[in-house]
Amino acid sequence: MTSDHPEAIALPATPEPTEKQQQQQQPTSPLLSQPLSWTHKAARTFSSPTIYPPALPFECGGSREFSSYLLYALIAGVPYMLKRMFGFSLGTYLVVAGLLALPIGGLSLLVHSWIVSPPTEQICALPNEPIETYMTILDKELKAKYHGYNKIPMDDFFERYFDGDIDLNGDALKVFERRYDWAIFPITVRVAKFFVLQWIPELLWHSKKQDETQVRDHYDRGDDFYAAFLGERMIYTSALVGDASKRETLEEMQDNKMRDVCERVGMRPGDRHLDIGCGWGTLVAYSAKNYGTDSVGITLGRNQTAFGNTRAAEWGVGDSARLLCMDYRDIPRRPRYHRITCLEMAEHVGVRKFQEFLLQVRDMLEDDGLFYLQIAGLRGAWQYEDFSWGLFMAKYVFPGADASCPLNWVVGQLETAGFEVRTTETIGIHYSVTIGRWYENWLRNKDVIVKAYGKRWFRIWEIFLAWSIIIARQGSSTCYQILAHKNRNAFDRSALIRPPFGYDKRSNGSA
């Protein structure tokens, strides 16, 4: 976003650090005894014109710097100290240790997030510019706290930016590409409070009423709000880059994705197709129109249901493509479906309900049917920025989407539910490009959004989109395409054989 101040400061190129700056960048954390040595490697230029390349690919502290052994020692040692002080029995000690394990773990992460230093292996040095280079702080008390080289905690920044106490000096994406020069990512009291009082209760509950309220508050905000960044296709899931050598449009990439999904599951004329969490129903109408399926989409959004049924009628498939407004738990289980798709809705099912959801999908799927799951996930080797972004998303963008987990967890859940995973693919870089196109659309429609919804809503989505371009590109969060079927002895696995990569390029007579 452009600042309201005409004297916006141009963002500098990333220079080689001076000797003084290298000294300032030495770690202060007691966890690192060796000095921080910059490698001064140049980041490799991204060759594709469709990608949003990094300006400052800096690594944040996280799981690699966090000692699990120290955590285990604290979980065992603190209750043992209490046992010695108060004379607990062994049984009482074990109960106390169990009760204190989560608080001790949470407090350990909180403290570590404030004292951790960045990894010593970096391919770039920070520009070490004052915070005023990147933003104008309008609130006097806030400015007195954060000025010069005092970095601001990320959650303090976006809360005050949404409130209008901060303006950015330039485009939000460019500012966020250099976020490590002006921000830190600790777990603040505000973040901890949100996690304990809102995120955990939502994770544990996930009632029909809770899910309905969250979905309708989010997706029934107004179709014009979403059209301002989703564009003509009205698809709120990752698209797919088809040709990385050119800059494809958002519409071309979404068409790539819909065609890819239909081909992956082998849609055929007459197939009964169920799309769970169908959004505005574009995939439902597309599959019916282009593959001759009898497609049903399920959503809790009233606006989405009306939009999708109207679109299906306009595309001439109103009789074979229809949207139903209902909770996924209420979907009729018979007749079964030949193809079931679920694109980035399963995250909202929640961790606690996930196995129950997969068992329901299995029951609704024909024995020779295929299940396509596209789901957003997080990396296991986390960094503290990942936590900051994830809880920001839970608070402002996707409340209740707590089943965004590493791939091994999702695959384990599928196998436990009786599925065999046929293929998996990670498409985080595709998601980065998709969100980049959304971000461009959002900026183009700034005046319309501000007039209809106010500056605060514009700024929330501006930060969500700008930050998420980077998050998806660097692997903090990603997206998985998973094709699965029932793990039955009689399933015809030969029907899913595909040629190996390079099979068509083999030389005659080669081994």
Q: Which tens digit of pLDDT belongs to each residue from 390-415?
A: 999 999 998 878 889 999 999 999 99
Structure tokens of 310?
A: 């109207």
Q: Which tens digit of pLDDT belongs to each residue from 239-291?
A: 999 999 999 999 999 999 999 999 999 999 999 999 999 999 999 999 999 99
**Is the pLDDT reported for residue 235 higher than 50?**
yes
What is the distance between the alpha carbons of residues 119 and 29, in angstroms, rounded to a whole number?
A: 12
260-264 LR contacts (CB < 8 Å, sep 24+): 261/341, 261/343, 261/372, 261/374, 262/286, 262/287, 262/290, 262/291, 264/370, 264/372, 264/423, 264/481, 264/483
Beta strands in 245-336 (DSSP E): 272-276, 294-299, 321-325
Give the percent of the chain with pLDDT over 70: 90
pLDDT for the residue numbered 220: 77
What is the distance between the alpha carbons of residues 33 and 120, in angstroms, rounded to a whole number?
A: 11
pLDDT for the residue numbered 319: 97
pLDDT for the residue numbered 22: 41
pLDDT for the residue numbered 507: 63
Structure tokens of 379?
A: 């990396």
Structure tokens of 110?
A: 């909180």
Strand order, beta sheet including 272-276: 321-325, 294-299, 272-276, 337-343, 365-378, 477-486, 419-426
If DSSP states are collapsed to H, E and C, what string results for 324-363?
Answer: EECCHHHCCCCCCEEEEEEECCHHHHCCCCHHHHHHHHHH
pLDDT for the residue numbered 203: 76
**Is the pLDDT reported for residue 183 higher than 50?**
yes
Residue where the block lists tokens 């004379």: 87
At 14, is the pLDDT very low, low, confident or very high (cuts 50, 70, 90)? very low
**Is the pLDDT reported for residue 3 higher than 80?**
no
Backbone angles phi, psi at 178, to 5 degrees: -110, 30
Q: Which tens digit of pLDDT belongs to each residue from 105-159?
A: 889 988 999 999 989 888 888 999 999 999 999 999 999 999 999 999 999 999 9
| pLDDT, mean of residues 190-199 | 84
Q: Give CA separation, 296 vs 208, 211, 301, 373, in Å.
A: 21, 21, 15, 16
Closest to 375 measured CA to CA, from 344, 410, 333:
344
Q: Which tens digit of pLDDT belongs to each residue from 422-461?
A: 999 999 999 999 999 999 999 999 999 999 999 999 999 9
- Lowest mean pLDDT of 13-27, 84-98, 177-191, 383-397, name the range: 13-27
Q: At what angle do helices 282-291 and 250-264 cross, to 10 degrees?
A: 60
Torsion of CA 82, 87, 93, 99, to 10 degrees: -50
Amino acid sitting at position 50: T
Q: Which tens digit of pLDDT belongs to each residue from 331-346?
A: 999 999 999 999 999 9
Amino acid sitting at position 31: L
Q: Burial, 237: exposed, middle or buried (Cβ in 10 Å; 0-12, 13-18, 19+)? A: buried
- Lowest mean pLDDT of 12-26, 35-49, 410-424, 441-455, name the range: 12-26
Task: Give the sign of the dihedral formed by CA 7, CA 12, CA 17, CA 23.
Answer: positive
Rg of the chain, C-alpha, whole Å: 25
In a 13 Å sphere around the CA of 433, the CA atoms on its Cβ side amount to: 24
Closest to 495 measured CA to CA, from 370, 335, 340:
370
pLDDT for the residue numbered 511: 52
pLDDT for the residue numbered 154: 97
At 328, is the pLDDT very low, low, confident or very high (cuts 50, 70, 90)? very high
Q: Give CA separation, 270 vs 170, 222, 287, 321, 338, in Å.
A: 53, 34, 11, 12, 9
- Lowest mean pLDDT of 22-31, 313-322, 367-376, 431-440, name the range: 22-31
What is the distance between the alpha carbons of residues 10 and 3, in angstroms, rounded to a whole number?
A: 11
